[in-house]
Structure 1
Protein backbone atom coordinates (compact mmCIF):
# COMPACT_ATOMS: atom_id res chain seq x y z
CA UNK A 1 0.00 0.00 0.00
CA UNK A 2 1.39 3.42 -0.88
CA UNK A 3 1.98 6.14 1.69
CA UNK A 4 -0.84 8.28 0.29
CA UNK A 5 -3.48 5.60 0.91
CA UNK A 6 -3.97 5.20 4.62
CA UNK A 7 -5.84 2.36 6.28
CA UNK A 8 -7.92 3.84 9.07
CA UNK A 9 -10.30 2.51 11.65
CA UNK A 10 -13.93 3.57 11.35
CA UNK A 11 -15.24 6.27 13.67
CA UNK A 12 -18.79 7.33 14.30
CA UNK A 13 -20.14 9.65 11.64
CA UNK A 14 -21.33 13.15 12.59
CA UNK A 15 -25.08 13.46 13.05
CA UNK A 16 -26.99 13.26 9.78
CA UNK A 17 -24.18 11.55 7.89
CA UNK A 18 -23.36 7.99 7.05
CA UNK A 19 -20.03 6.46 7.91
CA UNK A 20 -18.29 3.21 8.72
CA UNK A 21 -19.27 1.38 11.88
CA UNK A 22 -16.71 1.83 14.67
CA UNK A 23 -13.74 -0.48 14.24
CA UNK A 24 -14.32 -1.04 10.51
CA UNK A 25 -11.13 -0.89 8.40
CA UNK A 26 -11.26 2.18 6.16
CA UNK A 27 -9.07 3.06 3.18
CA UNK A 28 -8.51 6.81 3.03
CA UNK A 29 -6.92 9.03 0.39
CA UNK A 30 -6.65 12.80 0.48
CA UNK A 31 -6.44 14.24 -3.02
CA UNK A 32 -6.25 17.30 -5.28
CA UNK A 33 -7.26 17.69 -8.95
CA UNK A 34 -4.00 16.22 -10.34
CA UNK A 35 -4.54 13.14 -8.15
CA UNK A 36 -7.76 11.99 -9.89
CA UNK A 37 -6.00 9.12 -11.72
CA UNK A 38 -4.82 7.86 -8.30
CA UNK A 39 -8.38 8.15 -6.92
CA UNK A 40 -9.67 5.96 -9.77
CA UNK A 41 -6.83 3.48 -9.22
CA UNK A 42 -7.55 3.17 -5.49
CA UNK A 43 -11.30 2.80 -6.07
CA UNK A 44 -10.75 0.11 -8.70
CA UNK A 45 -8.29 -1.75 -6.52
CA UNK A 46 -10.66 -1.77 -3.54
CA UNK A 47 -13.57 -2.95 -5.69
CA UNK A 48 -11.52 -5.71 -7.34
CA UNK A 49 -10.12 -6.72 -3.94
CA UNK A 50 -13.69 -7.07 -2.71
CA UNK A 51 -14.38 -9.51 -5.58
CA UNK A 52 -16.86 -7.33 -7.44
CA UNK A 53 -17.75 -8.19 -11.02
CA UNK A 54 -16.06 -6.26 -13.83
CA UNK A 55 -19.34 -4.44 -14.59
CA UNK A 56 -19.79 -3.27 -10.99
CA UNK A 57 -16.13 -2.24 -10.82
CA UNK A 58 -16.59 -0.13 -13.96
CA UNK A 59 -19.75 1.50 -12.59
CA UNK A 60 -18.03 2.22 -9.28
CA UNK A 61 -15.00 3.81 -10.94
CA UNK A 62 -17.22 6.03 -13.13
CA UNK A 63 -19.24 7.17 -10.12
CA UNK A 64 -16.18 7.76 -7.93
CA UNK A 65 -14.48 9.71 -10.70
CA UNK A 66 -17.54 11.94 -11.16
CA UNK A 67 -17.98 12.71 -7.47
CA UNK A 68 -14.24 13.18 -6.87
CA UNK A 69 -13.95 15.49 -9.88
CA UNK A 70 -16.87 17.57 -8.62
CA UNK A 71 -15.29 17.76 -5.18
CA UNK A 72 -11.99 19.26 -6.39
CA UNK A 73 -13.44 21.46 -9.14
CA UNK A 74 -16.52 22.83 -7.37
CA UNK A 75 -15.95 22.14 -3.69
CA UNK A 76 -12.41 23.31 -3.05
CA UNK A 77 -8.89 22.46 -4.06
CA UNK A 78 -8.69 19.24 -2.02
CA UNK A 79 -10.98 16.43 -0.90
CA UNK A 80 -10.95 13.06 0.84
CA UNK A 81 -11.95 9.60 -0.39
CA UNK A 82 -12.86 6.92 2.14
CA UNK A 83 -13.90 3.36 1.34
CA UNK A 84 -15.08 0.59 3.64
CA UNK A 85 -16.95 -2.71 3.58
CA UNK A 86 -20.08 -3.36 5.58
CA UNK A 87 -22.76 -6.01 5.37
CA UNK A 88 -21.49 -7.40 2.07
CA UNK A 89 -21.44 -3.98 0.39
CA UNK A 90 -18.68 -1.52 -0.46
CA UNK A 91 -19.19 2.09 0.61
CA UNK A 92 -17.47 5.08 -0.97
CA UNK A 93 -17.44 8.52 0.62
CA UNK A 94 -16.07 11.69 -0.96
CA UNK A 95 -15.88 14.79 1.21
CA UNK A 96 -14.90 18.36 0.34
CA UNK A 97 -14.96 21.63 2.27
CA UNK A 98 -16.80 23.69 -0.32
CA UNK A 99 -20.26 25.22 -0.38
CA UNK A 100 -23.06 23.25 -2.06
CA UNK A 101 -24.22 24.46 -5.44
CA UNK A 102 -27.58 23.33 -6.85
CA UNK A 103 -27.72 20.82 -9.70
CA UNK A 104 -28.24 21.54 -13.37
CA UNK A 105 -30.54 24.34 -14.38
CA UNK A 106 -33.07 23.88 -17.21
CA UNK A 107 -31.29 24.06 -20.56
CA UNK A 108 -27.82 23.65 -19.07
CA UNK A 109 -25.17 21.45 -20.63
CA UNK A 110 -23.50 19.21 -18.08
CA UNK A 111 -24.22 19.10 -14.40
CA UNK A 112 -25.67 15.61 -14.57
CA UNK A 113 -22.93 13.85 -12.60
CA UNK A 114 -24.87 13.06 -9.43
CA UNK A 115 -27.80 11.90 -11.52
CA UNK A 116 -25.52 9.42 -13.29
CA UNK A 117 -24.02 8.34 -9.96
CA UNK A 118 -27.52 7.68 -8.58
CA UNK A 119 -28.09 5.31 -11.50
CA UNK A 120 -24.81 3.46 -10.96
CA UNK A 121 -24.83 3.09 -7.17
CA UNK A 122 -27.33 1.06 -5.15
CA UNK A 123 -27.70 4.07 -2.82
CA UNK A 124 -26.38 7.61 -2.85
CA UNK A 125 -26.68 10.19 -0.09
CA UNK A 126 -25.56 13.80 -0.06
CA UNK A 127 -24.94 15.84 3.05
CA UNK A 128 -24.30 19.49 2.28
CA UNK A 129 -23.64 22.08 4.92
CA UNK A 130 -21.57 25.07 5.87
CA UNK A 131 -18.57 22.84 6.56
CA UNK A 132 -18.57 21.12 3.17
CA UNK A 133 -20.27 18.40 1.20
CA UNK A 134 -20.16 14.63 1.63
CA UNK A 135 -21.39 12.14 -0.95
CA UNK A 136 -21.70 8.52 0.14
CA UNK A 137 -22.43 5.72 -2.30
CA UNK A 138 -23.16 2.05 -1.67
CA UNK A 139 -22.29 -0.67 -4.17
CA UNK A 140 -23.49 -4.25 -3.65
CA UNK A 141 -20.92 -6.98 -3.15
CA UNK A 142 -20.84 -10.24 -5.03
CA UNK A 143 -24.28 -11.88 -5.22
Structure 2
Protein backbone atom coordinates (compact mmCIF):
# COMPACT_ATOMS: atom_id res chain seq x y z
CA UNK A 1 0.00 0.00 0.00
CA UNK A 2 1.43 3.46 -0.88
CA UNK A 3 2.70 5.70 1.85
CA UNK A 4 0.40 8.73 1.89
CA UNK A 5 1.64 10.68 4.86
CA UNK A 6 -2.06 11.23 5.59
CA UNK A 7 -1.73 9.60 9.01
CA UNK A 8 -0.17 12.81 10.31
CA UNK A 9 -3.21 14.41 11.91
CA UNK A 10 -2.81 18.20 11.42
CA UNK A 11 -2.96 20.53 14.36
CA UNK A 12 -6.24 22.08 15.37
CA UNK A 13 -8.26 24.23 14.84
CA UNK A 14 -10.19 21.75 12.75
CA UNK A 15 -10.71 23.77 9.59
CA UNK A 16 -10.98 22.42 6.07
CA UNK A 17 -8.11 20.48 4.48
CA UNK A 18 -8.06 19.90 0.73
CA UNK A 19 -5.68 17.25 -0.65
CA UNK A 20 -5.17 15.85 -4.15
CA UNK A 21 -3.88 12.52 -5.40
CA UNK A 22 -3.13 12.10 -9.12
CA UNK A 23 -2.60 8.80 -10.89
CA UNK A 24 -3.54 7.02 -14.10
CA UNK A 25 -4.19 3.76 -12.25
CA UNK A 26 -7.51 3.25 -10.43
CA UNK A 27 -5.81 0.65 -8.26
CA UNK A 28 -3.17 3.12 -7.10
CA UNK A 29 -5.76 5.81 -6.45
CA UNK A 30 -7.87 3.38 -4.43
CA UNK A 31 -4.83 2.29 -2.42
CA UNK A 32 -3.96 5.91 -1.53
CA UNK A 33 -7.58 6.55 -0.56
CA UNK A 34 -7.73 3.41 1.58
CA UNK A 35 -4.60 4.41 3.46
CA UNK A 36 -6.01 7.91 4.02
CA UNK A 37 -9.28 6.59 5.43
CA UNK A 38 -7.75 3.85 7.58
CA UNK A 39 -5.38 6.37 9.16
CA UNK A 40 -8.35 8.61 9.91
CA UNK A 41 -10.42 5.82 11.43
CA UNK A 42 -7.50 4.87 13.66
CA UNK A 43 -7.34 8.49 14.85
CA UNK A 44 -11.08 8.66 15.53
CA UNK A 45 -12.12 10.55 12.40
CA UNK A 46 -15.23 9.81 10.39
CA UNK A 47 -14.92 8.39 6.88
CA UNK A 48 -16.93 8.94 3.70
CA UNK A 49 -16.37 7.59 0.18
CA UNK A 50 -17.95 9.29 -2.84
CA UNK A 51 -16.01 7.85 -5.77
CA UNK A 52 -17.04 6.77 -9.27
CA UNK A 53 -17.35 3.40 -11.01
CA UNK A 54 -13.63 2.81 -11.60
CA UNK A 55 -12.33 3.65 -8.13
CA UNK A 56 -15.39 3.29 -5.91
CA UNK A 57 -15.79 -0.52 -6.16
CA UNK A 58 -12.09 -1.08 -5.48
CA UNK A 59 -12.29 1.10 -2.40
CA UNK A 60 -15.51 -0.47 -1.18
CA UNK A 61 -13.97 -3.92 -1.48
CA UNK A 62 -10.84 -2.84 0.38
CA UNK A 63 -12.88 -1.33 3.23
CA UNK A 64 -15.63 -3.92 3.39
CA UNK A 65 -14.41 -5.04 6.80
CA UNK A 66 -15.20 -1.66 8.42
CA UNK A 67 -18.81 -0.60 8.75
CA UNK A 68 -17.77 2.84 10.02
CA UNK A 69 -17.18 3.94 6.41
CA UNK A 70 -20.13 5.74 4.83
CA UNK A 71 -20.25 4.94 1.10
CA UNK A 72 -22.19 7.33 -1.13
CA UNK A 73 -22.97 7.54 -4.82
CA UNK A 74 -20.86 10.52 -5.97
CA UNK A 75 -23.92 11.91 -7.72
CA UNK A 76 -25.51 12.49 -4.30
CA UNK A 77 -22.63 14.80 -3.37
CA UNK A 78 -21.66 16.33 -6.73
CA UNK A 79 -25.27 16.65 -7.69
CA UNK A 80 -26.51 19.02 -10.30
CA UNK A 81 -24.79 22.31 -9.63
CA UNK A 82 -21.86 23.42 -7.55
CA UNK A 83 -23.69 25.29 -4.72
CA UNK A 84 -25.65 22.08 -4.05
CA UNK A 85 -22.37 20.14 -3.71
CA UNK A 86 -21.06 22.67 -1.20
CA UNK A 87 -24.29 22.36 0.79
CA UNK A 88 -24.06 18.55 0.66
CA UNK A 89 -20.53 18.60 2.10
CA UNK A 90 -21.55 20.98 4.87
CA UNK A 91 -24.43 18.68 5.75
CA UNK A 92 -22.11 15.67 5.81
CA UNK A 93 -19.83 17.54 8.21
CA UNK A 94 -22.75 18.44 10.47
CA UNK A 95 -24.23 14.94 10.51
CA UNK A 96 -21.25 12.60 10.49
CA UNK A 97 -18.24 14.29 12.12
CA UNK A 98 -17.22 12.65 15.45
CA UNK A 99 -17.02 15.13 18.31
CA UNK A 100 -13.71 16.95 18.34
CA UNK A 101 -12.44 15.20 15.19
CA UNK A 102 -12.65 15.55 11.44
CA UNK A 103 -14.69 13.91 8.73
CA UNK A 104 -12.45 12.50 5.99
CA UNK A 105 -14.06 12.45 2.55
CA UNK A 106 -12.61 10.67 -0.47
CA UNK A 107 -14.28 12.43 -3.37
CA UNK A 108 -14.18 11.98 -7.12
CA UNK A 109 -15.67 15.12 -8.61
CA UNK A 110 -18.07 14.51 -11.49
CA UNK A 111 -16.70 17.08 -13.95
CA UNK A 112 -19.25 16.40 -16.68
CA UNK A 113 -18.99 15.79 -20.43
CA UNK A 114 -18.19 19.22 -21.93
CA UNK A 115 -15.57 21.96 -21.44
CA UNK A 116 -18.37 24.22 -20.20
CA UNK A 117 -19.24 21.68 -17.52
CA UNK A 118 -15.57 21.20 -16.60
CA UNK A 119 -15.25 24.93 -15.95
CA UNK A 120 -18.04 24.99 -13.36
CA UNK A 121 -16.35 22.22 -11.38
CA UNK A 122 -12.90 23.77 -11.79
CA UNK A 123 -14.41 26.87 -10.17
CA UNK A 124 -15.83 24.65 -7.44
CA UNK A 125 -12.40 23.20 -6.62
CA UNK A 126 -11.18 26.75 -5.98
CA UNK A 127 -14.31 27.95 -4.17
CA UNK A 128 -14.48 25.17 -1.58
CA UNK A 129 -11.16 26.27 -0.07
CA UNK A 130 -13.06 29.34 1.12
CA UNK A 131 -16.61 28.00 1.37
CA UNK A 132 -15.65 25.10 3.66
CA UNK A 133 -12.82 26.89 5.47
CA UNK A 134 -14.37 26.61 8.94
CA UNK A 135 -15.72 23.07 8.60
CA UNK A 136 -13.94 20.04 10.14
CA UNK A 137 -13.62 18.28 6.79
CA UNK A 138 -10.54 16.69 5.27
CA UNK A 139 -11.06 16.04 1.60
CA UNK A 140 -8.90 13.79 -0.56
CA UNK A 141 -9.77 14.39 -4.20
CA UNK A 142 -8.86 11.48 -6.47
CA UNK A 143 -8.03 12.47 -10.06
CA UNK A 144 -7.80 9.67 -12.61
CA UNK A 145 -5.39 11.32 -15.05
CA UNK A 146 -6.10 8.69 -17.72
CA UNK A 147 -9.61 10.11 -18.05
CA UNK A 148 -9.49 13.77 -17.08
CA UNK A 149 -8.66 16.59 -19.54
CA UNK A 150 -5.31 18.34 -19.12
CA UNK A 151 -6.92 21.66 -18.21
CA UNK A 152 -8.91 20.04 -15.40
CA UNK A 153 -5.76 18.44 -13.99
CA UNK A 154 -3.90 21.76 -14.26
CA UNK A 155 -6.63 23.55 -12.30
CA UNK A 156 -6.61 20.73 -9.76
CA UNK A 157 -2.92 21.34 -9.18
CA UNK A 158 -3.65 25.04 -8.62
CA UNK A 159 -6.54 24.51 -6.19
CA UNK A 160 -5.32 21.88 -3.70
CA UNK A 161 -2.92 23.04 -0.97
CA UNK A 162 -1.55 19.50 -0.43
CA UNK A 163 -0.54 16.64 -2.73
CA UNK A 164 -0.46 12.97 -1.79
CA UNK A 165 2.13 10.84 -3.58
CA UNK A 166 4.07 7.64 -2.92
CA UNK A 167 6.51 9.85 -0.98
CA UNK A 168 3.79 11.05 1.39
CA UNK A 169 1.65 14.12 1.97
CA UNK A 170 3.38 17.37 1.13
CA UNK A 171 2.63 21.02 0.51
CA UNK A 172 1.76 21.67 -3.12
CA UNK A 173 4.15 24.21 -4.68
CA UNK A 174 1.66 24.86 -7.48
CA UNK A 175 -1.17 25.92 -5.18
CA UNK A 176 -2.52 29.41 -5.87
CA UNK A 177 -4.79 31.75 -3.97
CA UNK A 178 -8.35 30.57 -4.77
CA UNK A 179 -9.58 34.06 -5.62
CA UNK A 180 -6.74 34.48 -8.12
CA UNK A 181 -7.57 31.11 -9.68
CA UNK A 182 -11.20 32.14 -10.11
CA UNK A 183 -10.24 35.47 -11.68
CA UNK A 184 -7.86 33.71 -14.10
CA UNK A 185 -10.24 31.01 -15.34
CA UNK A 186 -11.58 31.80 -18.82
CA UNK A 187 -15.04 33.14 -19.52
CA UNK A 188 -16.33 30.84 -22.26
CA UNK A 189 -17.69 32.00 -25.57
CA UNK A 190 -21.42 31.55 -26.12
CA UNK A 191 -22.11 31.33 -29.89
CA UNK A 192 -25.78 32.22 -29.42
CA UNK A 193 -24.68 35.73 -28.48
CA UNK A 194 -23.58 36.26 -32.09
CA UNK A 195 -27.16 35.77 -33.28
CA UNK A 196 -30.16 38.07 -33.19
CA UNK A 197 -31.58 38.18 -29.65
CA UNK A 198 -35.12 37.07 -28.93
CA UNK A 199 -35.46 40.06 -26.64
CA UNK A 200 -33.47 43.25 -26.12
CA UNK A 201 -34.32 45.87 -23.53
CA UNK A 202 -31.74 48.64 -23.27
CA UNK A 203 -33.19 50.45 -20.25
CA UNK A 204 -35.29 48.31 -17.96
CA UNK A 205 -37.97 50.51 -16.44
CA UNK A 206 -41.17 48.45 -16.37
CA UNK A 207 -40.08 45.54 -14.20
CA UNK A 208 -43.46 43.81 -14.12
CA UNK A 209 -43.82 44.13 -17.88
CA UNK A 210 -40.32 42.73 -18.37
CA UNK A 211 -41.17 39.73 -16.19
CA UNK A 212 -44.19 38.90 -18.36
CA UNK A 213 -42.31 39.42 -21.62
CA UNK A 214 -39.42 37.18 -20.57
CA UNK A 215 -41.90 34.51 -19.48
CA UNK A 216 -43.63 34.63 -22.86
CA UNK A 217 -40.34 34.34 -24.79
CA UNK A 218 -39.24 31.34 -22.72
CA UNK A 219 -42.61 29.62 -23.13
CA UNK A 220 -42.39 30.07 -26.91
CA UNK A 221 -39.15 28.02 -27.01
CA UNK A 222 -41.01 24.81 -26.23
CA UNK A 223 -38.61 23.30 -23.72
CA UNK A 224 -39.30 21.89 -20.27
CA UNK A 225 -41.76 24.17 -18.41
CA UNK A 226 -39.97 23.41 -15.12
CA UNK A 227 -36.54 24.36 -16.47
CA UNK A 228 -38.00 27.46 -18.13
CA UNK A 229 -39.56 28.48 -14.82
CA UNK A 230 -36.21 28.03 -13.04
CA UNK A 231 -34.48 30.25 -15.59
CA UNK A 232 -37.31 32.78 -15.44
CA UNK A 233 -36.89 33.07 -11.67
CA UNK A 234 -33.11 33.47 -12.03
CA UNK A 235 -33.56 36.24 -14.63
CA UNK A 236 -36.09 37.92 -12.35
CA UNK A 237 -33.65 37.81 -9.41
CA UNK A 238 -30.69 39.10 -11.42
CA UNK A 239 -32.71 41.90 -13.01
CA UNK A 240 -33.87 42.98 -9.57
CA UNK A 241 -30.28 42.88 -8.29
CA UNK A 242 -29.08 45.02 -11.19
CA UNK A 243 -31.70 47.65 -10.51
CA UNK A 244 -31.16 47.52 -6.74
CA UNK A 245 -27.36 47.44 -6.55
CA UNK A 246 -26.19 48.83 -9.90
CA UNK A 247 -26.89 52.02 -11.79
CA UNK A 248 -29.21 52.59 -14.72
CA UNK A 249 -29.52 51.93 -17.52
CA UNK A 250 -29.95 48.20 -16.96
CA UNK A 251 -29.85 46.20 -20.18
CA UNK A 252 -31.27 42.72 -20.76
CA UNK A 253 -30.50 40.53 -23.77
CA UNK A 254 -32.04 37.10 -24.28
CA UNK A 255 -31.05 34.50 -26.87
CA UNK A 256 -32.43 31.01 -27.10
CA UNK A 257 -33.60 27.82 -28.65
CA UNK A 258 -35.28 24.78 -27.17
CA UNK A 259 -31.79 23.43 -26.49
CA UNK A 260 -30.06 26.39 -24.84
CA UNK A 261 -30.87 29.83 -23.50
CA UNK A 262 -28.46 32.67 -22.77
CA UNK A 263 -29.42 35.82 -20.90
CA UNK A 264 -27.16 38.83 -20.25
CA UNK A 265 -28.14 41.42 -17.66
CA UNK A 266 -25.89 44.45 -17.45
CA UNK A 267 -25.95 47.46 -15.16
CA UNK A 268 -23.74 50.56 -15.18
CA UNK A 269 -22.78 50.56 -11.51
CA UNK A 270 -19.34 50.31 -9.87
CA UNK A 271 -18.88 46.62 -10.66
CA UNK A 272 -17.94 43.88 -8.23
CA UNK A 273 -14.72 42.04 -7.50
CA UNK A 274 -16.09 39.17 -5.40
CA UNK A 275 -14.95 35.85 -6.89
CA UNK A 276 -16.79 33.74 -4.29
CA UNK A 277 -20.12 35.53 -4.66
CA UNK A 278 -23.17 33.33 -5.04
CA UNK A 279 -21.74 30.04 -3.80
CA UNK A 280 -23.68 30.47 -0.58
CA UNK A 281 -26.14 33.04 0.84
CA UNK A 282 -24.43 36.39 1.25
CA UNK A 283 -25.27 36.48 4.97
CA UNK A 284 -24.71 32.82 5.78
CA UNK A 285 -27.40 30.88 7.57
CA UNK A 286 -29.47 33.99 8.34
CA UNK A 287 -31.64 33.94 5.21
CA UNK A 288 -33.88 36.69 6.62
CA UNK A 289 -31.18 39.22 5.73
CA UNK A 290 -31.50 38.58 2.00
CA UNK A 291 -28.46 38.32 -0.25
CA UNK A 292 -29.73 35.16 -1.90
CA UNK A 293 -30.21 36.32 -5.51
CA UNK A 294 -26.92 35.19 -7.02
CA UNK A 295 -26.85 32.05 -4.86
CA UNK A 296 -30.33 31.20 -6.12
CA UNK A 297 -29.32 31.85 -9.74
CA UNK A 298 -26.34 29.49 -9.45
CA UNK A 299 -28.71 26.76 -8.25
CA UNK A 300 -31.33 27.40 -10.93
CA UNK A 301 -29.07 27.70 -14.00
CA UNK A 302 -26.49 25.42 -15.57
CA UNK A 303 -23.89 28.20 -15.76
CA UNK A 304 -23.55 31.67 -14.25
CA UNK A 305 -20.75 34.01 -15.34
CA UNK A 306 -19.95 37.33 -13.65
CA UNK A 307 -18.18 39.81 -15.93
CA UNK A 308 -16.82 43.04 -14.49
CA UNK A 309 -16.24 45.09 -17.63
CA UNK A 310 -15.04 48.30 -16.04
CA UNK A 311 -18.15 50.40 -16.58
CA UNK A 312 -20.69 48.12 -14.99
CA UNK A 313 -21.39 44.51 -14.13
CA UNK A 314 -22.75 41.81 -16.42
CA UNK A 315 -24.35 38.60 -15.18
CA UNK A 316 -24.71 35.92 -17.84
CA UNK A 317 -27.12 33.05 -17.23
CA UNK A 318 -26.93 29.94 -19.40
CA UNK A 319 -29.12 26.87 -19.19
CA UNK A 320 -30.63 24.05 -21.22
CA UNK A 321 -34.37 23.66 -21.44
CA UNK A 322 -34.11 19.95 -22.27
TM-score when normalising by structure 1: 0.75
- Larger strand fraction of residues: 1
Q: Distance in 2 between matches of 1:17 and 1:75?
A: 24
Q: Aligned match of 1:57 in 228, 233, 245?
A: 228
Q: Aligned match of 2:201 in 29, 33, 36?
A: 29
User: Is 2:312 aligned against 1:141?
Assistant: no
Q: Aligned match of 1:121 in 283, 301, 310?
A: 301
Once the 2 structures are TM-superposed, how far is the Cα of residue 64 of structure 1 from its aligned partner? Answer: 0.7
- Larger helix fraction of residues: 2
User: Is 2:266 aligned against 1:95?
Assistant: yes
Q: Which blocks of at least 5 consecutive residues in structure 1 are unaligned?
A: 1-14
Q: Distance in 1 between matches of 2:290 and 2:270?
A: 19
Q: Aligned match of 1:41 in 212, 215, 234?
A: 212
Q: Distance in 2 between matches of 1:121 and 1:62?
A: 10
Which entry has the higher C-alpha Rg, 1 or 2?
2
Q: Distance in 2 between matches of 1:70 and 1:51?
A: 28
Q: Give the alignment's Cα RMSD to 1 decimal.
A: 2.4
* C-alpha contact 1:71 1:78 (8 A) present in aligned 2: no
* C-alpha contact 2:234 2:297 (8 A) present in aligned 1: yes
Partner SS, residue 127 of structure 1: strand
Partner SS, residue 31 of structure 1: coil
* C-alpha contact 1:92 1:138 (8 A) present in aligned 2: yes
User: Is 2:306 aligned against 1:110?
Assistant: no
Q: Which blocks of at least 5 consecutive residues in structure 2 are unaligned?
A: 1-185
Question: How many residue pairs get matched?
Answer: 126
Partner SS, residue 25 of structure 1: coil
Residues 77-131 of structure 1: per-residue CA shift (max 9 Å, x gap): 3301101126920111101111135552456711111000000001110112421
Q: Distance in 1 between matches of 2:226 and 2:258?
A: 20
Partner SS, residue 237 of structure 2: helix
Q: Which moved more, 1:94-103 or 1:42-51?
A: 94-103
